[in-house]
Amino acid sequence: MNATSLNSTAGNGSSVLAVDDSPEGAVVLAIQLYYTPALVVLGSAGNCLSVVVFSTAKLRQLSSSYYLAALAISDTGYLVGILMVWLDLVDVALYNEQGACQAIMYLSSVCSFLSVWFVVAFTVERFVAVKYPLHRPAVCTVARARAVLAVVTLVALVLNLPMLLITGPVYISEYDKVACGMRSEFEELASIFNYVDTVLTFVLPVLAITVLNTSIACTVYYLAKVRRAMTRQQRRQDSNGSDFNSVANKRVSSTRGGVMLVKNGEQMELATHGGNARAIRAQHSANTQAKITKMLLLVSTVFVALNLPSYVCRLWVFIKPPTPGDKWLSHLIVLQHISYVLFNTNFGINFVLYCVSGQNFRRALKTMCCPGAGVHRTGRREVSQSTAVSEYQRAAGCSFNSRHRTALNGVWREAHELLPLNISQPQQ
């Protein structure tokens, strides 16, 4: 196996230049030979685990979970196509057989299209949730997510039907072998399809993701800046109040509307009913949406970063086709294969991104793997919060149901830091 004419799968849309016998070609071939199966195995396992986690009862209530689960499924389908192509490197020519060639190319093309537009879909949803939060309950729903996924899937299945016609086993005289590729009699149609595919799977999605992510990031930064400014202003007002100094060291004090909890020289009022409880739930929901936004921003940004080099090389080859005498041809070959490896990596790395940036994902994964982990909390902060709840209940002389206790214990830190309330006058 001195050389290979391994083609990119149709999702990438470009014919990867043949690897020669040069040292650079040997390095590229080694990367493909060992990195590809590791990516397929680990990436597929991570994607399957992601689907299971996003299907848990808690995350299934979020519309974004449906997009990410669908993304994991389409990524796995593309990795299967990569595996079929890789088998040709180890002399298992299933990919080059009639029927299998068309099926694998079609599967890869459909899955690549779906992965791209699923990323666009949840980016649009995040844009609505961040820029127009009042419309989020009506727009960012599970039913709407299912409808969007169904429509995008149908469009992908129809638009990629030409792949069944223009692809097939073709004889390559340079290597004296039959390989899966574009049929010569449909070369003009294949060229048109390639340009359409470039626009639909790269130009439009990348522009949309870049613009939307920029707007989301600016909005998140602005809101965080305003929140910090308001928090500092409130703390200065509290520190200047004479009433605050008189109660700063008290652990618990009763008020007319409920109970005052004091911690670290600051205070937060929690009512057994009324506006304060609703405010805490609203803050908890806002914190959840912020965590989802950060995770999806990372996923879509990594998507663009890993796809960009491959499509740049693709445009380079089609705008200025190389000839055997070009001095830069060997460098282009290495660059194109490296960019192709990065392109493929995008389909197997999302599980890692979820674990790194998704706090809700990590919690759901931990609960799924260790069902008792969510019940026994051993952290210092959780212990102190539980103690504060107990003191609160004894001082107030009232009982909370389990829902109130869960909300209090889960959002103490967020509500304590982000919802400072003015000191109420003590009862006379």
Predicted confidence (pLDDT) per residue in 185-234, tens digit? 888 888 888 888 888 988 899 999 999 999 988 888 888 888 888 888 88
Residue 156 token pair: 């992908």
Domain count for the chain = 2
Q: Tell me what the mean pLDDT of segment 84-96 comes to.
A: 85
The answer to the question of residue 277 being in a domain is no
Q: 175 and 257: one domain?
A: no
Q: Helix H segments across 346-379?
A: 350-357, 359-369
Q: Tell me what the mean pLDDT of segment 295-312 comes to.
A: 87
The answer to the question of residue 286 being in a domain is no
Token pair 């209530």 is found at 61
Using the 8-state DSSP alphabet, how is residue 17 labeled?
P
At 15 the pLDDT is 43
Q: 309 and 171: one domain?
A: yes
* Cβ pair 10, 95 in contact under 8 A: no
- Number of continuous H segments (helices) and E segments (strands) in the chain: 15, 5
Q: 319 and 251: one domain?
A: no
- Residue 232, class by beta-carbon neighbours within 10 Å (0-12 exposed, 13-18 middle, 19+ buried)? exposed
The answer to the question of residue 17 being in a domain is no
CATH number at 145 reads 1.20.1070.10
Residue 317 token pair: 């080859």
Q: 395 and 267: one domain?
A: yes
The answer to the question of residue 413 being in a domain is yes
pTM here? 0.72
Q: Tell me what the mean pLDDT of segment 136-150 comes to.
A: 92
The answer to the question of residue 4 being in a domain is no
Q: 154 and 207: one domain?
A: yes
The answer to the question of residue 131 being in a domain is yes
Domain extent for 319: 23-226+295-369
Task: Among 319, 337, 369, give the residue marking a domain's end.
Answer: 369
Share of the chain above pLDDT 90, in %: 27
Q: 383 and 314: one domain?
A: no
The answer to the question of residue 397 being in a domain is yes
Q: 34 and 182: one domain?
A: yes
The answer to the question of residue 16 being in a domain is no
